[in-house]
Structure 1
Amino acid sequence: MVKKIGILFDCDGTLLDSLGNAFDSFDYAFDQIGEPRQKPENIKKFFGTSADRIFINLMNDSQLALKAFEFYLDHQAELALKTKLHHGIEELLEALLSKNIPLAIVTGRHAKDLENVLRPHDIKHFFKSIIADSDVTRSKPAPDGLLLALSQMGIDSENSFYLGDSPTDIQAAHNAQSKSVAVLWDKTVDKLEMEKVSPHFLINHPHEMLDLLLL
């Protein structure tokens, strides 16, 4: 009997070309609360965690961090209209759906934040499960989000693939016993850093996922 497989996707840098906008929104939020901006590398090391948790990690004041997060959400909602799907993503989703392969999103974004960025692109109907960081107790690289999605999809971990653009995504896949697929199409991806965490596969374009699955 053919095994039923499932495909899970990270959001930013994997589905959406949106990571640059995220840094802009962090800058905006810090400006609005009168705090100094953080270097992108200081922010990026927390990616895999939702923005509200990132602000808490970067600041000593949880109330001020919450205020910063609200400004971040407002700015992201405006920028969402300017974000685009990565080239080839919609075609990949359509091809997978046509084969009745269940799909999911597992992201480090907060649910409010995720709704803002997905709304302009009309892709939610492709996914059987959409898991935000605020839906789980532990952020990536913990496997909680992936395991919750797989449960909702009715897919065993060993029959799943998780596509992501950061080492944290790959580590989360390994921790969930899912096959890790490092995607290299976002301009922010460091191939050498991805190789260090030993993904099962590396792909340069969305259509290569179909080749990998022999579809």
Structure 2
Amino acid sequence: MKAIVFDFDGTLANTLPICFYAFQNVFKEFDKKDLTSNEIKEMFGPSETGIIRNNLANLKKEEAIEYFYAKYSELHKSLVEVNPEIIELLKSLKGAGIKIGIFTGKAKRSLDISLKALDMEGLFDVIITGDDVIKPKPDPEGLLKALSLLGVKNSETIYIGDSDADVVAGVQANVYTVGVQWLPEYHTSTFSEQPDSIIKSVKEFKNSFKVKCL
């Protein structure tokens, strides 16, 4: 393998708590609605800005988007922990000469906030966000764009994610797919589209990586 592309939320960082917090505040403030975490999760797919534009009844959508980012930044450090095990994994992959990237549905602005807060800035060879694609996951557009920018073939690439949409995108892009359930909160407990591998811990992935990639 020459490249490994990661999803972000639920895969590289347990950002679901801060996502829920920010969205709940937005819908409470602008639509006077109290949404559960599951109700918010059902909106996932587009970027955060897309979710607000598609689901908020209030017409002040741009104001709501700015409010979302304020709330997303506000408690990020207290709600999202730095995961030293994942950062060490990313650095070890780079040290082994593997190109690493991100393909996420997140908007670039929120991803940049998270990368800075979690000490992940500058680690990735390519980053594709929800702002960079016309068709969000499960469409493989963003993953194929990442492969093109990395200069690797799909047969040389692994895509790692925690949701059905990740796995479907990987299958459609014809790359090796890994479904991970290694963080406290992840999107999918049972995949409807079977990934090539299901990994339960970073240690398990590292052991597998040594066999398959080195």
Deviates more, 1:32-41 or 1:147-156: 32-41
* CA–CA separation in structure 2 for the residues paired with 1:151 and 1:190: 27
- What letter is aligned with 2:177? S
In structure 2, the residue matched to 1:202 is 198
CA RMSD, aligned part only?
Answer: 1.8
Establish whether residue 170 from structure 1 lines up as the match of residue 174 from structure 2.
no
- TM-score (normalizing by structure 1): 0.89
Deviates more, 1:151-160 or 1:85-94: 85-94
* CA–CA separation in structure 1 for the residues paired with 2:88 and 2:177: 21
Establish whether residue 81 from structure 1 lines up as the match of residue 53 from structure 2.
no
Q: Please tell me whether the aligned partners of residues 139 and 169 of structure 2 are also in contact (alpha carbons under 8 angstroms).
A: yes
Establish whether residue 127 from structure 1 lines up as the match of residue 124 from structure 2.
yes
- TM-score (normalizing by structure 2): 0.90
Deviates more, 1:30-39 or 1:185-194: 185-194
Q: In structure 2, list runs of 5 or more residues that go unmatched.
A: none
Q: In structure 1, list runs of 5 or more residues that go unmatched.
A: none
* CA–CA separation in structure 1 for the residues paired with 2:197 and 2:144: 20
* CA–CA separation in structure 1 for the residues paired with 2:40 and 2:153: 33
In structure 2, the residue matched to 1:64 is 60
Establish whether residue 150 from structure 1 lines up as the match of residue 121 from structure 2.
no
Aligned residues: 210
- What letter is aligned with 1:92? L
Q: CA deviation at 1:100?
A: 0.8
2:9 to 6, 9, 12: 12
Q: CA deviation at 1:28?
A: 1.0
